[in-house]
Amino acid sequence: MNEMMLLLLCGLLAAVFLLAEVRQHNHAHEGTHHRHKIGHKHGEGFVIDMHAYASKISHWNPTFKVILAIVTLVLCIALNNPCVSLAVLIAMAYLTMVKGGLSVSEYLSVMMIPIVFILLGTLAIAIEFSYQPIGQYNLHCGFFYVYTSQDKLKEMIFLILKVFAAVSALQMMTLSTPSSEIISVMRKAHVPTLIIELMNIIYRYIFILLDVYSKMKNSADSRQGYCDFRTSCYTFGGVAGNMLIVSLKKANVYYDAMESRCYDGEMVFLEEEKKVAAGQIIAAAIFVVLLLMLWWFTK
């Protein structure tokens, strides 16, 4: 049994590393052909941003998608049932990949982002330590034992399943709805205007700041600004300070530009009305009922 445990652990670790590797590879690959200027070094967020615009279900009504995702998420957690989790996982994967047209490898790479956190979190539930060889399975590690039981492992796997199902519901939303639309849904939900305006501006500004940062970094790099650790630290400080000044200046210019277009203290953007099809609502209702039935029969 001990060897078995060790093998399992090794396998899991290897999978994590492999997936992380695949993910990195995917990104390096993506960077070469999509249009963003700083493609080779952008983080996970921008990949998701790209996917959201490219998704085939991005024309669906955003409110519908957000509500569907949240209802699914709540059901998934509240019902606490592995069958429901599995059903959600499958349904959301179907929506994102088949309906949304995202490729399998990209979907997996996005889904694997939280895997390290999930594994570390759930391992703590399944594994316990002791000085005596107790428990259903145990592993001798020098002067102490790591032990677990079938029940504990089952609990861990169900928990992983639940977390992944919940994550997949939210990913369905983020991978098919551009941020601006999610913000507009929040506006409809009467989130305070201040927060909505901040979100809009921050979302727009992230890309501008990144652009400015990459330009400054490149120009510092071309002048040997990152030749050794000491210089790198110094340059980083310089770039950061400069960024602050540039942001202040840009904020001024932005304000002028907004004022010249009659901005008077209230930021309202034109949003597209996306109709929600009756079929979509019916399908979503059936899905929710099915989840509840599944829970009822496997309780």
Output 218 or 298, the one with its CB closest to other proteins: 218
Question: Least distance from C-beta 62 to other proteins, angstroms?
Answer: 12
SS3 label, residue 277 = coil
Residues whose CB is less than 8 angstroms from the CB of residue 288 and which lie 6 or more positions away in sequence, other chains included: 71, 72, 75
Return the bridge partners of 140, or none: 145
Question: Least distance from C-beta 204 to other proteins, angstroms?
Answer: 5
User: How far is the C-alpha of 54 from the C-alpha of 48, rounded, in Å?
Assistant: 10
Output 112 or 175, the one with its CB closest to other proteins: 175
Contact 288, 71 (CB under 8 A): yes
Site for other proteins in 191-220 (CB under 8 A): 200-201, 203-204, 207-208, 211
Question: Least distance from C-beta 269 to other proteins, angstroms?
Answer: 4
Contact 159, 167 (CB under 8 A): no
Question: Least distance from C-beta 178 to other proteins, angstroms?
Answer: 7
Contact 61, 138 (CB under 8 A): no
Question: Least distance from C-beta 277 to other proteins, angstroms?
Answer: 19
Site for other proteins in 133-152 (CB under 8 A): none
| Contact residue for other proteins among 120, 194, 245, 270 (CB under 8 A) | 270
Residues whose CB is less than 8 angstroms from the CB of residue 186 and which lie 6 or more positions away in sequence, other chains included: 195, 196, 199
Tell me, what DSSP letter sits at residue 14? H
User: How far is the C-alpha of 170 from the C-alpha of 83, rounded, in Å?
Assistant: 19
Output 104 or 268, the one with its CB closest to other proteins: 268
| Contact residue for other proteins among 264, 279, 297, 299 (CB under 8 A) | 264
> What separation in angstroms does the CA of 85 have from each of 36, 204, 291?
36, 35, 9
Question: Least distance from C-beta 53 to other proteins, angstroms?
Answer: 6
- Under the binding rule (CB under 8 A), the answer on residue 63 touching other proteins is no
Number of H helices, E strands in the chain: 11, 3
Site for other proteins in 29-58 (CB under 8 A): 35-36, 49-50, 53, 58
Summarize as ranges the residues that interact with other proteins (CB under 8 A): 35-36, 49-50, 53, 58, 178-180, 200-201, 203-204, 207-208, 211, 250, 253-254, 256-264, 268-272
